[in-house]
Structure 1
Amino acid sequence: MLSTLQFLQPWEPSLAIQLLCTLAVGLYITGLVEGYRSGHREGFWKPFAFLLGVALMYFVTQTQYDYLSQYMFFIHRIQHLVLHHMGPFLIALSAPAAVLGRGVPDSMRRHAGFLRPLLLPVRIAYRILQQPVIATVLFVGLIFFWLTPSIHFDAMLSAQRYALMNWSMAVDGLLFWWLILNRAPDGLTPQLSYGRRILILAVIMPPQSILGAYIALSRQDLFDVYAVCGRAWPVSPIVDQQIGGLVTWIPASMMSVVAAVILLSFMFREHRSRRSTPMPACSPSNPISSTTPV
């Protein structure tokens, strides 16, 4: 038990991450309670997905797992799989906007109008980053950027660059999967057709697979920073790199397949819902009926 508690302690505490995770969970639970009182119940799976997504992102950054990720390449790749894929995917899948909104205190809502002019640059930047082409290039490009050996070497030896790397992966993951899994009406986040979303998922798969395969099948130690710093476990550099390449290659690509299947289920559900909606009855304002010649 003592070793477990020690493992759950932060290796490099980040007040920003701790506050954001605490705020997100606090607002969500408050929103669930308010929704329960007003008859808006979320069931089990959406809250489970949201809380699990936040917990996973917290776990890989604010426990001793973060230490291991700095001294084992394949652990680092799992960390980024969580930050860029799994955690944001689960959060976006839970569609938490309404619940989080209900969790905001009334006093803050009353003063929200004063913040709108200040948030205008953020809204503009968000709208630009959510353009499909930009979002797709950025999602794949960040993976290639941080896995460029020379850049990766510098990032792993600098606390500031290491934090920037993890933050960029997490924020970009949230932006991308929010765009892909968004089911709200067209607003600040573009409402893409299901076909375009599945196309984007198909586009991001080959680059990730090629990069992961190249790393996994390479006989050269591409990331020698782990030899410089020393590995946490007695694993050979090539084996460490092969496992890390497989993590980049297979699970990351499979996330696109899982997302496409979920999108298809959304599409079929909406199609069935439209088919089951009764046709409007004939009325004076709608005089055309099956017996009226056209």
Structure 2
Amino acid sequence: MNSLIAYCGAAAVPDDAWMRWNVDPILIAALAILAFGVARGLASDARAGWGAIALMAVVFISPLCALSSALFSVRVLHHVILIAAVAPLLALAFPQRRAGRVPLAMLVAVHAVVLWLWHAPGPYAWGLASVPAYWLMQLTLLGSAWLLWRAVLSPATPSGLALVALAVTIGQMGLLGALIVFAAQPLYPVHFASTLAWGFTPLADQQLAGLLMWVPAMLPYLGAGLWRAWTSLRPAEVAL
């Protein structure tokens, strides 16, 4: 299916997967510019900045990119890494220091709409149909997640509000994952031959994708919620 061959190229198969590195010079230059900024001390947390760069290299440069053209579950893993790992690391590296002008509730809603939109079968297929559509998908997912994480992790955001935002995000992601898991038939276009080559039927691949979004994707949000709850209780403990 040519419609699935966009930025990451043809679907990887077991015989060539580990040779499928992406050496796009524009992408490498963009990551190099970000790395230069971190090295020059522009990031508030350099370790978080380097971690975000390393994970972006994994999802966009390593063979994971080509493998995401073969398996819907790997594509969802790719998206989960972007929104639940890269985005919070970027939020730590480039934090929000003051109360944001955009209400946190709006950031939660926008990110939820973006996530559900790109995982609806039609927009998902369109997002893989061309390089511009692919990057629109990636940048809106990462950008909306980064803005949400910046607000959630900001000391200027009340802990209670941050916890509600995290709980709502966990809930909507879990619902999306459950809908994907329990769908009675494959909903997303796949390379049937390459999916079978990896030992999956399209439906099993889709179910694995839903499980990834339903359970593992929630862990960073849960961890952030526990951290915010703990830090909000610490002053009370000191007072005792």
C-alpha displacement of 1:4: 9.8
- Confirm whether residue 60 of structure 1 aligns to residue 32 of structure 2: no
- Confirm whether residue 182 of structure 1 aligns to residue 154 of structure 2: yes
CA distance in 2, matches of 1:155, 1:230: 20
- Contact 1:14 / 1:62 at 8 angstroms: preserved in 2? no
SS of 2:41 mapped into structure 1: helix
User: Any stretches of 5+ residues in structure 1 without a counterpart?
Assistant: 36-41, 99-126, 184-190, 277-294
C-alpha displacement of 1:259: 1.0
CA distance in 2, matches of 1:239, 1:251: 17
- Confirm whether residue 31 of structure 1 aligns to residue 41 of structure 2: yes
C-alpha displacement of 1:63: 2.7
Which of 19, 22, 25 aligns to 2:29? It is 19
Rate the CA distance shift 1:265–1:219 in 2: closer, same or farther, 3 A.
Answer: same
1:204-254 per-residue CA deviation (whole Å, 9 max, x = no partner) reads: 22221111011112221111x214684362411111001100011112222
Paired position in structure 2 for 1:145: 117
Rate the CA distance shift 1:234–1:47 in 2: closer, same or farther, 3 A.
Answer: same
Percent identical residues? 22
Matched to 1:28, the amino acid is V
CA distance in 2, matches of 1:213, 1:10: 32
Paired position in structure 2 for 1:69: 68
Paired position in structure 1 for 2:200: 235
- Contact 2:127 / 2:134 at 8 angstroms: preserved in 1? yes
CA distance in 2, matches of 1:257, 1:266: 14
- Confirm whether residue 226 of structure 1 aligns to residue 190 of structure 2: yes
Matched to 2:123, the amino acid is I
Paired position in structure 2 for 1:10: 22
Q: Higher RCO, 1 or 2 (CA under 8 Å, sep at least 6)?
A: 2
CA distance in 2, matches of 1:270, 1:88: 28
TM norm structure 2: 0.80
SS of 1:83 mapped into structure 2: helix
Rate the CA distance shift 1:271–1:88 in 2: closer, same or farther, 3 A.
Answer: farther
Matched to 1:221, the amino acid is P
Paired position in structure 2 for 1:120: none
Paired position in structure 1 for 2:177: 212
Larger radius of gyration: 1
CA distance in 1, matches of 2:227, 2:29: 31
Rate the CA distance shift 1:242–1:56 in 2: closer, same or farther, 3 A.
Answer: same
- Contact 1:59 / 1:65 at 8 angstroms: preserved in 2? yes
C-alpha displacement of 1:23: 2.3
State how many pairs are aligned: 222
CA distance in 2, matches of 1:58, 1:177: 21
Q: CA RMSD in A?
A: 2.9
1:152-210 per-residue CA deviation (whole Å, 9 max, x = no partner) reads: 12222222211210111111121111111123xxxxxxx32111010111112222111
TM norm structure 1: 0.67
